[in-house]
Amino acid sequence: MKKPFSKYQVYLMTIPKNERRNSSTPKQALPLITWIDENLYKITISNYNKLYKYLLQQKNRSISFDQYTFLIRDNSENTSIDKRIRITQNERTVFIFDLRANGVTCFSLNIKHSPNKDDLKYKELWLKLINEILK
């Protein structure tokens, strides 16, 4: 009797072979949520840097988009330090995108609501803004 596939094997089968980063060990494989962020929502390091530089060029280092404001609080173009893009609503930070050495992480600060629903809303907002900037 054959053994059932492990979660890791099933995960690898969902990603085309030529798009796998390193399939030799599970720890080095691209997590599914990261793959979704990069391929569906365009949350990539290069897009992050483009948006960050765009915000640096704005008068108040912020832009309003829909009912939200995207802003940065530092003025560093140095890519070796951690950078943070905040999404605010009514002057309160509701979502954060961080650039770190291992990639872009994002999280919601609103613990009253379901974080998964919030994540999707802000990731979709990110995608709309990136598409506007890249036009």
Query: What was the pLDDT predicted at 21?
Result: 54
Chain-wide mean pLDDT for the chain? 79
Helix (H) or strand (E) holding 7: helix 7-14
Confidence of residue 65 (pLDDT cuts 50, 70, 90): very high
* Residue with more model confidence, 57 or 102: 57
What is the Cα–Cα distance from 75 to 58, expressed in whole angstroms? 11
8-state DSSP, 77? -
Task: Write the CA distances from 33 to 17, 43, 68, 69, integer angstroms.
Answer: 18, 11, 24, 25
Span of 23-32, 71-80, 91-100, 122-131 with lowest mean pLDDT: 23-32
Confidence (pTM) = 0.70
Confidence of residue 19 (pLDDT cuts 50, 70, 90): low
pLDDT per residue as tens digits for the range 22-44: 544 455 677 888 899 999 999 99
Q: What is the mean pLDDT of residues 82-111?
A: 86
Q: What is the mean pLDDT of residues 81-97?
A: 88
pLDDT per residue as tens digits for the range 49-61: 999 999 999 999 9
Q: Which residues of 2-38 are buried (b: 16+ CB within 10 A; e: fewer)?
A: eeeeeeeeebbeebeeeeeeeeeeeeebbeeebbebb
| HSE-CB for 79 with a 13 A CA cutoff | 11
50 near 126, Cβ under 8 Å? no
What token pair was written down for 110? 């609103």
Angle (deg, nearest 10), helices 45-57 and 115-133: 70
Confidence of residue 112 (pLDDT cuts 50, 70, 90): low
